[in-house]
Amino acid sequence: MVDTPISPTSPVVTYDTSLETEIAHLSVIIQENPTLNQQYTPRWLAIQLLESDSTLSAELHQHADLLQQAEASRARIIAHYQEEPDILLAEQRYNFVHQLTNQVLTRPDGNQLTFSDKVDQIVTHRYWGLPIFLGLMWLVFKMTADLSAPMVDWIDGTVAGPITNRVMTILAMLGLSGSWLEGLLVDGVIAGVGGVLVFVPVLMALYLALALLEDSGYMARAALVMERPMRVVGLPGKSFLPMVVGFGCTVPAYYATRILDNERDRILTGLLAPFMSCGARLPVYLLFGTIFFPENPGLVVFGMYLLGILIAIGLGLGLSRTLFAESEQSPLIMELPPYRLPTPRNIWMQIKNRTWAFIRKAWTVILSMSILIWLLMAIPITGSGSFADTDIEDSAFATIANIVAPAFAPLGFGSWEASSSLITGFIAKEVIISTQAQIFAVAEADEPFEETTMFEDVSEIVTSFGAAVLDTLKSIPLIIGIDLLGESDEAEPSALMTAIRQHFDEVSGGHGALAALAFLVFVLTYAPCMVAAAAERQELGDRWMWFSVIGQTGLAWVLALFVFQGGLLFFG
Amino acid sequence: MPPLTIALAGNPNTGKSTIFNALTGSRQRVGNWPGKTIERKAGMFKHDGFELEIVDLPGTYSLSAYSLEEEIARDFIIKATPAGVVNVLDATNLERNLYLTTQILETGVPTMLVLNMYDQATARQYRIDTAALSTALHGILIVQTSASRGEGLETLKQTIVTFAQQQANRRKPHGRYPNQPHQPSCHV
């Protein structure tokens, strides 16, 4: 290995004389300008100018003289070759590379099929390709949803149980039991921190799945298989994966948009992913379906999932022909890298770094939202309560819900009870149910706080962690459909169901079922929950986050209006 | 003095991430490129008491700024003026990978090559005359690695130190690269 400095006087690639003349001509002008000479390598800039690089031309708008000279040079080249300079330059670079490769590389004769080629004959097969792809997507979905579930429960339980106990015990020792500080710490801070941490196992499972798919080389094949059907809605094949993940949770769906190759595709996929009904929306569908359509709750749930997909398809068709039209669709030229065994180290680094980036970015948003909601619920506006000791209907939160409520009247659910559950639903969609339970005062009374010793708390954390690890292992066969955990459905409290039924009947003027459907359509469509919003902000930026939050809520309002008023017209 | 910055460039699927992980270990920061939706990875490389910042550029086939990835890679090489570029190539796909190399060399930023996946090239009975390749590219430093098996990484680390030290010595306090005319330096 010889060490000779790269010298501008002897470039590695030398072009045709006519091209070199123009390059030299422009280089001299650049060299004579101290600012340009300081900022750019003259020969490089000259070549870029000949290629008429639009981003560079914009940067150089002050150097009108140079741009003029470049135009003149380009015109001379075009006159001489009858061809665009960028094509000529690229062609000659390819020639150089081709000759160089011939000179330094010797290959054995004959074209034998590699291992990758053989696998590809099956995996990208006209008929087998799609079932194999759908099967693998099913695995990814099960991984993000099921593999992480025991750990999510463990974190949830540890935060709500032993850790909360510890804080309350310490506060009790300081004589602060039942104070506003306890409320702030337990219901605001700890709940907020827990809200971030429960997503860690979900994201780790997602990133494990993504790393396996990407590093093995399958992702490129998946893109190929799904390219045609997805193109119809203006998306590339790869964006099928974030959508599938979205049925588990919208948060990892946003992060899964990273696999896409360009910004337009990432943004469009990110905008459509929240319409895939996430796992948190399912209990709401199920509860309302059971209350209002007891004969056919399954049909309601299925209908909601289908509606979400239809909305996404409709919006995809619309957006890809309007807002996202002018950006060129990336043509279907893709590299199929050879299959490789992913290295554990690479996989672990991806999981670790990406998950950590989520925690770093999301905790501020989530913690402050959690504290804000606690604060609103703690401030008494009416009634005889004091700060941090007031009934929910007397709080500032109820006041705000009351102000918003009339907006929902045309949709059939214009009550503060309904609107406040939609507001807390922004924390997490499943909270809609617990807020209503709290409001209709049918929630089970909080378990009386029992002081525990440090030892009890620590040992509970350890034993429950052990159980969670065991459940995670048990859930691995579950991914391929064998259920070792057994059904764990909780029976819904019937008192809550009666209360909701009565309330929706009352507030909608006797059209409870219709109002409930409109409510579900609203829940399906409106703003993604705050963690999802934080994820979208991290992945797509502030602007698109607000676009989603405001746009989806507006869309939800219109669709719910359509359902309720339309329903009144037809069945009223 | 802050550590020098080295950019890691190359086509997609060349094992660039594996090399990045091998060089930086756990000392990594992952974020996004400013204002962009593209992941940015940077990390510290330490070897023999020598310290460098390594920035992993998005994988691209060219530097022509047709895509956001290409624009980011190009802007970083041109505007952030790293002390050098480590260009990772897939040894089984030399011809296609070398196109990017020619464009990186045109920027005038000091560059060295890593022929990764050398084991697979060997398995396919490819023979690469690295000495001839180096000569054709004006004596560029070339290292052969099989990063996923951990082969050649020690040599790579050594070579990067050598490469970076050359750039550190050549770099003038206010000049861009050694071939630029001297700027008057002002010491306060």
SS3 B79: helix
* Res. B185: pLDDT tops 50: no
As a whole number of angstroms, the distance between CA A249 and CA A243 comes to 10
**The amino acid at A485:** L
Residue A96 has what pLDDT? Answer: 94
CATH number of A17-104: 1.10.287.1770
Name the β-bridge partners of B31: B40
pLDDT score recorded for residue A69: 93
What residues pair up with B39 in beta bridges, in sequence order?
B32
Q: In the prediction, which pLDDT does A472 show?
A: 81
Give the Cβ contact number of residue A411 at 10 Å.
Answer: 25
pLDDT, tens digit, 9 for 90 and up, residues A187-240: 888 877 887 788 888 888 888 988 888 888 887 788 778 877 888 888 888 888
Shortest CB distance from B67 goes to which of A53, A93, A262? Answer: A262
Token pair, residue A17, equals 């004389």
Task: Tell me the HSE value of A448 on the side-chain side, using a 13 A CA sphere.
Answer: 1
Give me the numbers of helices (H) and strands (E) for chain B, helices first please.
Answer: 6, 8
Residue boundaries of the structural domains of chain A:
17-104
Test A8 with B30 for CB contact under 8 angstroms: no
What pLDDT sits at residue A557? 96
Quickly state the pLDDT bin for B187 (edges 50, 70, 90).
Answer: very low
- Per-residue pLDDT tens for B12-52? 889 898 899 999 987 788 888 876 778 889 999 999 888 99
Contact B106 A55 (CB under 8 A): no
Please tell me the distance from the alpha carbon of residue A311 to that of residue A275, in angstroms, as a whole number.
7
| Residue among B30, B68, B135 minimizing CB distance to A262 | B68
Q: Measure CA A238 to chain center.
A: 14
Q: Do B99 and A97 touch (CB under 8 A)?
A: yes
What type of residue is A415? S
**Spatial contact of A342 and A211, defined as CB atoms under 8 Å apart:** yes
| A539: amino acid identity, one letter | E
- Reported confidence tier of residue B181, pLDDT bands at 50, 70, 90: very low
Over chain A (572 residues), what is each successive 10-residue block's mean pLDDT? 48 91 94 89 92 82 91 93 89 92 86 76 81 84 79 86 86 82 83 81 86 84 80 85 86 89 88 90 87 87 91 92 67 69 86 83 79 86 79 86 93 92 87 81 56 78 84 70 47 74 92 94 93 90 94 96 93 71
Residue A448 has a pLDDT of 57
Nearest-angstrom CA–CA distance, A484 and A478:
7
The shortest C-alpha distance from A13 to chain B (Å) reads 7
In sequence order, what DSSP letters do the residues of B130-176 get, joined into one string? Answer: HHHHHHHTTS--EEE-BGGGTBTHHHHHHHHHHHHHHHHHH--SS-S
Q: Is B99 on the interface with A (CB under 8 A)?
A: yes
Distances (CA, A) of A120 to A221, A231, A239, A386: 8, 22, 21, 69
Residue B89, strand partner residues: B115
Q: What is the pLDDT of residues B111-124, one digit of tens each?
A: 999 999 999 899 88
Question: Is any Cβ of chain B less than 8 angstroms from the Cβ of A340?
Answer: yes
Specify burial of residue A509 (Cβ count, 10 A radius: 0-12, 13-18, 19+). Answer: exposed
CB contact under 8 A, B95 and A97: yes
> Please, what are the domains in chain B?
4-170 (3.40.50.300)
